[in-house]
C-alpha cells in the first residue's frame, strides 16, 4: 500500500504549499519516486511546480489535463473517474495538476456525503473520487509516496481529500492563529474519520473499492521559526511552548505535555524562513536547497543553501521514517 500523506491546516498563510513543494523535491533528491497531488482549489502547488505557459496549456482546450479533468465525467454526468494527467517535473517527481474549477465540486461532495449512509453507489464513487484519482496516478507512475496539498478550510473538498489520505502532516506557525487552527482541525479529523468508518459499513457491494480514510496525524512542522517579525521574543517563545500541548489535546486527543516544540517527539521539524533565498528560488523555479552560484547564491547565500539542504533533508527523512519508508532513502 503506497502511503498518501496530506499536508493540512485550516489556518492559511503558514507556508504549507512551500513545505509540500520542498518536501517533494527533497524526497525526489533522496531517490524516492514522488507523486505530488494538488487538491487545493487555488492550485498553488501547481503554480510553483509548473510555469504559467504550461499551466495554460493544461487548462485550455478540450479536456482539462488536471485533477478536475479526471473528475469531470463523474461530477458532470454519470461516468466514472478518468485516469488523470500526470506531469513529469523531474525524473523522481511527478504532479497531478490542480485546477481552479475544483472549487465547483464543493457542493456535489457536500450533497453526496449524507447519501453515502443510504448506500447509494454513486455517492460512494463521488466521495472516493480523489482516492481513485490517486490510485490511477500511482499505478501509472509506480510512485513510492504521494504528497497531497489541500486548501486551508474544513469544507467538503478537503474532507474528501482526507478520506483519500492515510497520514496527515500539520504545518503551523508559532502564533495564536495556528493554535486556534489546531483546535478546529483536530476535532474535524476525529469526526471525519469516525463518519467515514460508519459510511464504509454501507458500501453497496463488498467488491467495490473504497479508501481506508485513516487520516492519522504523524506530527507537526513549525514553519518560519527564526522570524520574530513584529512580535516580542517573549511572545514568540510563549507560543512555541504552547504548541506541543495544543497539538496533543486538540489533534491527538491526549493529555497535555510540558515539552517544548524543540524537544517534542511529535514535532517533525522546525523550518526557517531563509529570507532572501525565497525570491531567488522563485526566480530560478527551484527549491532553496538546490540554488547554485548561477542562480545568484554566492558567498553567505551558498552557506544558507547548504544549511537549508540539511534542514529539509532531516525533515524529509523524519517524515519517511514515520511512514516506514526510511529504508528507501538513497542519498543525493
Condensed to tens digits (0 to 9), the pLDDT of residues 277-323 reads 888 888 899 999 999 988 888 888 888 899 999 999 999 999 999 99
User: Cell numbers 478520506 correspond to what residue?
Assistant: 163
Question: Number of folded domains in the chain?
Answer: 1
**Residue 151 scores a pLDDT above 70:** yes
Q: Is the dihedral of CA 278, 19, 98, 112 positive or negative?
A: negative
Burial class (CB in 10 A: 0-12, 13-18, 19+), 164: buried
Q: How far apart (Å, rounded) are the C-alpha atoms in residues 202 and 161?
A: 20
Q: Could you tell me which residues are beta bridge partners of residue 88?
A: 94
pLDDT for the residue 231: 52
pLDDT for the residue 12: 81
pLDDT for the residue 312: 95
Residues in Cβ contact with 276 at an 8 Å cutoff, skipping those fewer than 6 apart: 301
Pairing of strands 4-7, 267-271: unpaired
pLDDT for the residue 84: 97
pLDDT for the residue 26: 97
Longest Cα pair distance anywhere in the chain, in angstroms? Answer: 64
Note the pLDDT tens digit of each residue in 176-186.
898 999 999 99
* CATH number of 229's domain: 3.40.50.300
CB 274 within 8 A of CB 308: yes
pLDDT for the residue 222: 92
Q: How far apart (Å, rounded) are the C-alpha atoms in residues 261 and 7?
A: 19
**Residue 174 scores a pLDDT above 90:** no
Asked whether residue 183 is domain-assigned, the answer is yes
Q: Which domain range does residue 232 map to?
A: 4-276
Mean pLDDT of 134-147: 97
Asked whether residue 329 is domain-assigned, the answer is no
Asked whether residue 298 is domain-assigned, the answer is no
CB 149 within 8 A of CB 39: yes
Q: How far apart (Å, rounded) are the C-alpha atoms in residues 24 and 43?
A: 16
Asked whether residue 299 is domain-assigned, the answer is no
Buried b (16+ CB within 10 A) or exposed e, 173-212: bbbeebbebbeebbebbeebbebbeebeeebeeeeeebbb
pLDDT for the residue 110: 97
Residues in Cβ contact with 268 at an 8 Å cutoff, skipping those fewer than 6 apart: 169, 218, 219, 220, 221, 315, 318, 319, 322
Pairing of strands 93-96, 87-90: antiparallel
pLDDT for the residue 129: 96
- The Cβ of residue 153 has, within 10 Å, a number of other Cβ atoms equal to 17
Instruction: Grade residue 246 by pLDDT with cuts at 50, 70 and 90.
Output: very high
pLDDT for the residue 274: 79
Asked whether residue 252 is domain-assigned, the answer is yes
Q: How far apart (Å, rounded) are the C-alpha atoms in residues 79 and 71?
A: 9
Asked whether residue 281 is domain-assigned, the answer is no
pLDDT for the residue 226: 54
Asked whether residue 220 is domain-assigned, the answer is yes
pLDDT for the residue 206: 72
pLDDT for the residue 299: 82
- 223 vs 215, residue with greater confidence: 215
Asked whether residue 223 is domain-assigned, the answer is yes
Q: Which of 261, 217, 316 is nearest to 19 (CA)?
A: 316
Amino acid at each position: 500500500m503506497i502511503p498518501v500523506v496530506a499536508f493540512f491546516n485550516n489556518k492559511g498563510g503558514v507556508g504549507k504549499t512551500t513545505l509540500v513543494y520542498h518536501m517533494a523535491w527533497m524526497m525526489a533528491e533522496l531517490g524516492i519516486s514522488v507523486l505530488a497531488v494538488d487538491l487545493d482549489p487555488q492550485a498553488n502547488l501547481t503554480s510553483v511546480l509548473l510555469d504559467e505557459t504550461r499551466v495554460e496549456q493544461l487548462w485550455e482546450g478540450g479536456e482539462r489535463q488536471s485533477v478536475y479533468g479526471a473528475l469531470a465525467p463523474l461530477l458532470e454526468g454519470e461516468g466514472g473517474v478518468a485516469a488523470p494527467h500526470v506531469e513529469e517535473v523531474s525524473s523522481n517527481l511527478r504532479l497531478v495538476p490542480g485546477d481552479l474549477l475544483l472549487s465547483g465540486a464543493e457542493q456535489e461532495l457536500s450533497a453526496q456525503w449524507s447519501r453515502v449512509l443510504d448506500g447509494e453507489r454513486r455517492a460512494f464513487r463521488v466521495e472516493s473520487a480523489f482516492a481513485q484519482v490517486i490510485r490511477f496516478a500511482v499505478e501509472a507512475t509506480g510512485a513510492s509516496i504521494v504528497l497531497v496539498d489541500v486548501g486551508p478550510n474544513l469544507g467538503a473538498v478537503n474532507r474528501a481529500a482526507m478520506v483519500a489520505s492515510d497520514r496527515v502532516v500539520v504545518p503551523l506557525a508559532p502564533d495564536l492563529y495556528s493554535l486556534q487552527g489546531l483546535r478546529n482541525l483536530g476535532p474535524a479529523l476525529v469526526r471525519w474519520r469516525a463518519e467515514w468508518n460508519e459510511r464504509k459499513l454501507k458500501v453497496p457491494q463488498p467488491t467495490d473499492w473504497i479508501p481506508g480514510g485513516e487520516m492519522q496525524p504523524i506530527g507537526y512542522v513549525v514553519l518560519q521559526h527564526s522570524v520574530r517579525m513584529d512580535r516580542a521574543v517573549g511572545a514568540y517563545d510563549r507560543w512555541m511552548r504552547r504548541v506541543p500541548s495544543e497539538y496533543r489535546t486538540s489533534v491527538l486527543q491526549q493529555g497535555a505535555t510540558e515539552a517544548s516544540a524543540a524537544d517534542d517527539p511529535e514535532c517533525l521539524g522546525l523550518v526557517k524562513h531563509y529570507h532572501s533565498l525565497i525570491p531567488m528560488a522563485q526566480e530560478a523555479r527551484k527549491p532553496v536547497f538546490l540554488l547554485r552560484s548561477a542562480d545568484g547564491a554566492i558567498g553567505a547565500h551558498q552557506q544558507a543553501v547548504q544549511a537549508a539542504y540539511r534542514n529539509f533533508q532531516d525533515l524529509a527523512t523524519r517524515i519517511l521514517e514515520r511512514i516506514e519508508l526510511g529504508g528507501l532513502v538513497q542519498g543525493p
